Structure 1
Amino acid sequence: MGLVRLFIKDCDNVTDPAVRERYGILSGTVGIALNLLLSAGKLFAGLMTGSISITADAFNNLSDAGSSVVTLVGFKLAGQKADDGHPFGHGRMEYLAGLLVSLMILLVGVELGRSSIGKILHPEAVDFSLVSTGILAASILVKLWMGQFNRGLGRKIGSAAMAATAADSLSDAVATAAVLAGTLVNRFAHVNIDGWVGLAVAVFILRSGWGAAKDTINPLLGESPDPELVKQLRDLVLSHPQVVGMHDLIIHDYGPGRRLCSFHAEVPQDADILDAHDAIDHIEREIKEKFGIETTVHMDPIATADEKVNQLRRQVADLARVVEPEMTIHDFRVVRGPTHTNVIFDAVVPHKCRLTDEEVLQRLRRAVSALDPTYQAVIQIDRAYVE
């Protein structure tokens, strides 16, 4: 990563939008320069030999140069500071840039497939040239380097857009290798497979484009957070003795380095409120420092000293897991009256549960009543934001 150290100041501070912008500019500039050179070389080779697959590969590199422009502009826009109209910044422009790159990959694949089918139906002779062979071989090496370069940048800053660019470069290397193999087969085995090679390359490009598109669409739609991140957050929160539980964790992604989260922290109802509040403030600062996530915590007081309530809570939690193995409960409390006892709690149901909310309610109510006919379950159904 010598180029990174040379051109990007403070390159290890990857949570800084300005640093991320410089990574994007470097990736885009390198991509534009190399792809234009490769496109010119392959176009020359394609016109000289009359090969549809080489010519198509040249236009593929030209579209890659356009993709690099999109990447560069996307990172430039994503680096803009928050304003009145966009209080969470413009970080999602990076995802949009990755999506546009993916769409360009798919368009190239479709066009290459169309041209290749035409060449299969109406084959034409292809001339062999050592110059064109050398250009293709050099192109493979350049694209392999570009793939590793962008993959390294993408991993360094956690960028889906750069991951899409890296996937594009590696698919180009495979595509060009297939074109080179077809050229050699035509020269030494005298079998014209130019159209078939072009079609195989098109399928590979389409598959790569679709995979890259999914990686950028998911964060735009609002994907479930990384389970490892969720575990680390839980471990951090519960490492504070003032907190006995947490629930309703929500993580919003407004672009790389721009995440917000909120959750409810359960504290004993008889705890010192100032001590508990100080612990909550400390947790918010810790999450910001360790994960770069702005956090808002709601404090929930719960009864922990009443052993009968604790035992009933454990029983109801077990009943909930019988209904759905990954269901959890929180905000549990018991209100006793002269004729019946209200057992009040929230049930968190995973999205993959096939039962409707009403079916979950009915099953939980029957299960609680089976413990004691005087128990009446008052239940709020929540759908899980993290799995």
Structure 2
Amino acid sequence: MIEFLVRHFVRDYQQVQDPAVRERYGVLSGGVGICLNLLLSLGKFFAGLLSGSIAVTADAFNNLSDAGSSVVTLVGFKLAGQKPDDGHPFGHGRIEYLAGLLVSLLILMVGVELGKTSIEKIFHPEAVDFSLITVVILICSILVKLWMSLFNRRLGRRIHSAAMEATATDSLSDVVATSAVLVGTLVGHFAQVSIDGWIGAVVAIFILRAGWGAAKDTLNPLLGTAPDPELVKEIQQLVLSHQQVVGMHDLVIHDYGPGRRMCSFHAEVPEGNDIMEAHDAIDHIEREIQEKFGIETTVHMDPIATGDSEVTRLRDQVRELVREVDPDMSIHDFRVTRGPLHSNLIFDVLVPHRCRLRDEEIRRRITEAVQKTVPGCFVVLQLDRSYV
């Protein structure tokens, strides 16, 4: 059923990196969510009126808020699909994250309101009438919400959408919530125990938990998260597969919304190589990364000395000394300028973000260690922060 909908309503459905295709996926998800949630809300509201159950009625309004969330998702994908303009040269892709965050806030609001109503029902319980129609509607709702969770999860993973993942999580929490309402209805009828308010409170807790988790998932990319380590590894393998490049560093990946990523890094090339040949290799690497990962790339070319055995020996020594300060530190852009009385060892140190040492302390430790090992040298170092 899911593949049928995708194939018939999403043109070019396999081109998931294309913003226009992502927009079509979003419209499909939003449209299906609006229709099904409105039907479920009407059915549960009718069942709530028949039974007088606050838990069932609250679940109906929960589905109504889900329909509103689907509207937000649909509008968010439409806005995110807009082309770049003068004010937003990187496009509007992050609106998709904002849509997911708004959906999460709506989920939290529903959870709070349901919790307040349920607490009132706990202190002032009322009899709940049993109805077979109510049970049938609740069972159908559980089955529909299970399918909706699978539907949005599969679409979300296919296009890597935090907004759809949040919607899938919301649908799964609705399954738990409606199941709790169904259990409460059956227990209240067969055991003659009024637990309607307590069931409503449990439902509220599940909704709040789901909303908080979805909020974190959509807020993280807005704040800026570290790139996927597997992606970093694949980019490094691609770059170093070119014989003209002997190393790379300072990789930074910027996320301007799904399908709108940019990256930059420094590629190390032997200083004796033909500069035009090296430049052609760099251009080829940029095109490869764009074609394989859909990431626009800018590469800075760093020439390094590879034919000087003394420089190579000093570089290896300094690299090991830096690792003694922190095993995750590395060096790059190492070069030596020689004078009649002393030599300058010039290099950059890449410091992992998890390192707790202050910059002054890092400089002092490295400088003392190098000068002790290589007497008569001056150390000129630059500290860089790792973003991967």
What TM-score does the superposition give when structure 2 sets the normalisation length? 0.98
Per the alignment, residue 29 of structure 2 pairs with 27
Per the alignment, residue 210 of structure 1 pairs with 212
- Helix, strand or coil at the partner of 1:377: strand
Moved more, 333-342 or 139-148: 333-342
Letter in 1 for 2:213: G
Distance 2:129 2:349 in 1: 70
The answer on 1:269 being equivalent to 2:271 is yes
Moved more, 182-191 or 140-149: 182-191
Per the alignment, residue 102 of structure 2 pairs with 100
CA shift, 1:197, in A, is: 1.3
The answer on 1:299 being equivalent to 2:301 is yes
Distance 2:291 2:122 in 1: 59
Letter in 1 for 2:272: D
Distance 1:322 1:196 in 2: 58
CA shift, 1:342, in A, is: 1.3
Per the alignment, residue 219 of structure 1 pairs with 221
Superposed, 1:117-266 pairs within 5 Å as 117-266=119-268
Distance 1:44 1:241 in 2: 70
Per the alignment, residue 385 of structure 1 pairs with 387
CA shift, 1:319, in A, is: 1.5
CA shift, 1:369, in A, is: 1.2
Which of 11, 14, 26 pairs up with 1:12?
14
CA shift, 1:374, in A, is: 1.1
- Helix, strand or coil at the partner of 2:30: helix
Q: Give 5+ residue unaligned stretches, structure 2.
A: none
Distance 2:41 2:324 in 1: 61
Distance 1:162 1:311 in 2: 53
Per the alignment, residue 37 of structure 1 pairs with 39
The answer on 1:63 being equivalent to 2:65 is yes
What per-residue deviation string (whole Å, max 9, x for no partner) do you get for residues 264-311 of structure 1? 000001111011001000000000100011100000001111122112
Q: Give 5+ residue unaligned stretches, structure 1.
A: none
Distance 1:129 1:270 in 2: 85
Distance 1:318 1:190 in 2: 74
Give 4+ residue runs of structure 1 displaced > 3 Å after superposition: none
Distance 1:111 1:220 in 2: 27
- Helix, strand or coil at the partner of 1:125: coil
Identity level (%)? 73
Per the alignment, residue 288 of structure 2 pairs with 286
Q: CA RMSD in A?
A: 0.9
Distance 1:339 1:112 in 2: 79
CA shift, 1:219, in A, is: 0.9
Per the alignment, residue 334 of structure 2 pairs with 332
Moved more, 39-48 or 227-236: 39-48
Letter in 2 for 1:232: E
Letter in 1 for 2:27: I
What per-residue deviation string (whole Å, max 9, x for no partner) do you get for residues 23-68 of structure 1? 1000000000000010111111112111111111111000000000
- Helix, strand or coil at the partner of 1:279: helix
Moved more, 322-331 or 60-69: 322-331
Per the alignment, residue 80 of structure 2 pairs with 78
Distance 1:376 1:184 in 2: 81
Letter in 2 for 1:65: A
What per-residue deviation string (whole Å, max 9, x for no partner) do you get for residues 333-386 of structure 1? 111222222111111111111111111111111111120231221111111111
What per-residue deviation string (whole Å, max 9, x for no partner) do you get for residues 44-94 of structure 1? 111211111111111100000000000000000011111111111111111
Distance 1:27 1:14 in 2: 14
CA shift, 1:97, in A, is: 0.6
Distance 1:239 1:318 in 2: 25
Distance 2:252 2:259 in 1: 16
Distance 2:362 2:226 in 1: 23
What TM-score does the superposition give when structure 1 sets the normalisation length? 0.98
Per the alignment, residue 348 of structure 1 pairs with 350
The answer on 1:369 being equivalent to 2:371 is yes
Letter in 2 for 1:175: A
Which of 90, 93, 115 pairs up with 2:92?
90
